[in-house]
Amino acid sequence: MGERPAGVAVVTGASAGIGAATARALAAAGFRCVLGARRLDPVQRLAAEVGGGATARPLDVTDPASVAEFVRGLEAVQVLVNNAGGARGLDPVAAGDDEQWRWMWEVNVLGLVRMTRALLPALEASGRGHIINVGSVAGVEVYEGGGGYTSAKHAVRAITQTLRLELVGRPVRVSEVAPGMVRTDFSANRFDGDAARAERVYAGVERPLTAEDIAECIAWVATRPPHVNIDHLLVRPLAQAAAHRVHRTP
């Protein structure tokens, strides 16, 4: 745990998966969570569940007006977890769909930048701010059909490193937690709700990571003493040696 009582933690994309699990983990670590996503109902239920003064607000990170409304009144924020994101499609670059690429870049990249800009004054005002970006193995590796997503997550990695340079000397840590295969709604969303296709992603994989595995890592990163900056934490399941090299049992 840190050396001082925990303050406010903002989690984007807290309605499901890694974001929801992160809210639980950060609340358990003593943070007062401010949770956002487009689907407000699950975020409201989660805020009530985790307690500790947690609140829920609607948030679409692709909409500047929504971001401005979300951050209104947040004056001192200790942790910002930029988690909202995901993938769309698995087409080769040559057959890529502009709308899918635009969605991936809007949410994973511009959404993260927008949230960071909007909360930087509050992070700095806390005296011990921390930006934790949820990247991916797709930010360090590529695979066929993943061009839109891997390029967006490579951008997340580049932006994280740039921010660390630009903020040096100021009281804001900058970290990236980069998961490998995590079993969430990620694949169903990637394939537009095609559950059978999503299921094939995890077929025969003994134990994909869970959202809780990653949430635990994010909470650990957030609770190091304030002089300790975890730059990049890449976490895979045992069965995954690379984004595209996964051990499957028949």
Ligand X SMILES: NC(=O)c1ccc[n+]([C@@H]2O[C@H](COP(=O)([O-])OP(=O)(O)OC[C@H]3O[C@@H](n4cnc5c(N)ncnc54)[C@H](OP(=O)(O)O)[C@@H]3O)[C@@H](O)[C@H]2O)c1
In 134-169, which positions are buried (b, 16+ CB within 10 angstroms) versus exposed (e)?
bbbbbbbbbeebbbbbbbbbbbbbebbeebbeebee
Residues that are catalytic: 149
- 59: contact with ligand X by CB under 6 A: yes
Q: Is 102 exposed, middle or buried (0-12, 13-18, 19+ CB in 10 A)?
A: middle
- 38: contact with ligand X by CB under 6 A: yes
Stretch that binds ligand X, among 10-18, 70-78, 162-170, 191-199 (CB under 6 A): 10-18
Helix/strand/coil percent split, the chain, to 5: 45, 20, 40
Residue of 186, 205, 217, 236 interacting with ligand X (CB under 6 A) = 186
Q: How many residues bind ligand X (CB under 6 A)?
A: 30
- 18: contact with ligand X by CB under 6 A: yes
- 26: contact with ligand X by CB under 6 A: no
What's the CA gap between 90 and 96, in Å, rounded? Answer: 8
The residue among 100 and 128 lying less far from ligand X, judged by its C-beta, is 100
What's the CA gap between 218 and 1, in Å, rounded? Answer: 13
The residue among 58 and 226 lying less far from ligand X, judged by its C-beta, is 58
Residue of 44, 161, 189, 210 interacting with ligand X (CB under 6 A) = 189
- 100: contact with ligand X by CB under 6 A: no
Interface residues with ligand X (CB under 6 A) are 12-13, 15-19, 37-39, 59-62, 83-86, 107, 111, 134, 136, 179, 181-182, 184-186, 189, 211
